[in-house]
Chain A
């Protein structure tokens, strides 16, 4: 059974205008998205800024009001519910390790916060748990009494992770966890996230704009554009057999690490751009949004127009 199932999720933000500030329209930040994540897997959610990828994560965890649709956690409907059990099992890691930790709190208090909210521990037990957590994220016991500014970006992100895993959650939503970090620090955090995944049997919903990292890190990937899915599939399907023009466009935009390929890359980009311009209406409806997903294999879904699919 899937640990997380999202069914036809819609999150709309009202646009207010006019003299009386009435809601005249909605921004459809998330517009009918469905997916499931299997226990222990890493699910990558990819999109550019404004695609709605972060809003999905925030909606699942209850930071954003869900307009319609359902979210099931372990088969239980958790849509817009803030039950203790759910909050314990679902945690989030944020993008910016500099602003997501309260600068006036010691590391001890930052990590202990979820513990204090959910578990009644004695002072001694609490300290012991935090020591264990710090060890797990590779920080010394002495770090406990320090403040966030005394740590580097990578270390701070690991403190954020320690806080997220303090309650032994089953699912972690990681919203661009390494985007603000330098390449070498990025590697450190990603490796570490993989290690604790094995150790604790974690499931990740990994939200990112960086296809290179997603390719390295995720099992299943979905591509989002303007609030809708354009394509969903396994890593191999997305990277080796992309079907939607937007996916192709994203893939062709990733800089190639081999300088000898640059002319080839340039030509591919030109070709994709041509296809994008010429066959735009095969891929997007009159509002410029993606069509609904159609399966082309058991795991591979693509947003295509009905008849285009039949032609294939």
Chain B
């Protein structure tokens, strides 16, 4: 059997806005291997969360086209009940804000136990409780017996996120999706949670999709990285390659926007990210952010080019691209 755990093919997820469907995830093709962390980086509005929700089937009012093969089985048009058998069992998700992602009126223990009630119906109440306490220990929560009957608001942000992780790994999923898991947390807590995710990944041997806007988090965690812009993957590569030899103009611009040593001035990307409705659907979607580039530098219908094994870049504009300090002020 191949090493591929998840294979997304030409996925297009569209939302209805006012007058029609607009694709937030537009023709995304991507694989996640067993026992690897795939980082997905992008800014708000890039469609990275929409992509994660598509995999989990969590969009309630979206049109999905294309295929998502999970362990070889297409789950895009699978029935609700079959999907429910997989969610929380074979694939699970961690969310950005652990305070709102936990039910405020349910005890911590009950919220974790629910995953067993749903997927391990033969477990007795006693077994469930033992397992929950084991899980709480595993994610580093002190006094698990006590926390079992506490409510979310009684825990700190870091502890809540640990509970979320406990829910996600309860049934040892093959695929774990973490959507900005540390964005709402302090740096020291972030470091702890990231270390925890890495350790757990090694123990339960699952594939992880880590979605974040933080390039530093990706650099520390991911094996491979996909950079998304305006609903499309613009570059995908091994993490070392991506940080050492980024090719796509967007990746390069983004890396220069982050404060680094010996940098006097931060790089500013021209213009703003267009809204979903006003995304340029033809040609290179990043073209208007690099207006000094010649039209002939872009492809008419940009596709992902494999520049070296495993390193893909969209459009041809990376070839002649050089960073330019953008002095013009826009209105």
Contact = CB atoms under 8 A, between A and B. Distances in A.
Given A183-B254, A187-B257, A255 B216 contact: yes
A305 B190 CA distance: 29
A258 B257 contact: no
A212 B263 CA distance: 12
Given A212-B259, A257-B260, A154 B243 contact: no
Contacts of A211: 187
A255 B258 CA distance: 12
Interface in A30-59: 48-49
B186 interface: yes
B188 A257 contact: no
Q: How large is the interface on A (under 10, 10 to 19, 20 to 34, 35 or more residues)?
A: 35 or more
Nearest to B238: A259
A253 B254 contact: no
A21 to B, nearest CB: 21
A155 B271 CA distance: 11
B219 interface: yes
Interface residues of B, number: 41
Given A183-B254, A184-B254, A216 B266 contact: yes
A142 interface: yes
B186 A216 contact: no
A54 B216 CA distance: 25
A258 B219 contact: yes
A182 interface: yes
Interface in A141-156: 142-143, 152, 154-155
The CB with the most chain A CB atoms within 10 A, among B187, B219, B267, is that of B187
A182 B259 contact: no
A188 B187 contact: no
A210 B258 CA distance: 12
A311 B112 CA distance: 50
Nearest to A49: B186
B263 A257 contact: no
Given A256-B219, A258-B243, A138 B43 contact: no
B239 A266 contact: no
B215 A183 contact: yes
B43 A183 contact: yes
Contact of A265 (B220, B259, B263, B272): B220
Interface in B228-267: 239-240, 243, 253-255, 257-260, 263, 265-267
B267 A187 contact: yes
Nearest to B331: A140
A209 B186 contact: yes
B5 interface: no
A48 B186 contact: yes
A191 B266 contact: yes
Interface in A227-255: 249-250, 252-255
A182 B213 contact: yes
B188 A183 contact: no
B191 A183 contact: no
A269 B192 CA distance: 9
Given A152-B272, A211-B187, A259 B239 contact: yes
Given A48-B186, A216-B259, A257 B243 contact: yes
B329 interface: yes
B257 A186 contact: yes
B19 interface: no
B259 A184 contact: no
A262 interface: yes
A249 B257 contact: no
Contacts of B215: 183, 257
Contacts of A216: 259-260, 263, 266
B176 interface: no
A143 B329 CA distance: 13
Given A187-B266, A212-B259, A216-B266, A142 B331 contact: yes
Nearest to B259: A216
Given A140-B331, A185-B272, A215-B259, 9 more contacts: A182-B213, A183-B43, A184-B257, A187-B267, A217-B259, A255-B216, A257-B215, A262-B219, A269-B191
Interface of A: 48-49, 138-140, 142-143, 152, 154-155, 182-188, 190-191, 194, 209-213, 215-217, 249-250, 252-260, 262, 265-266, 269
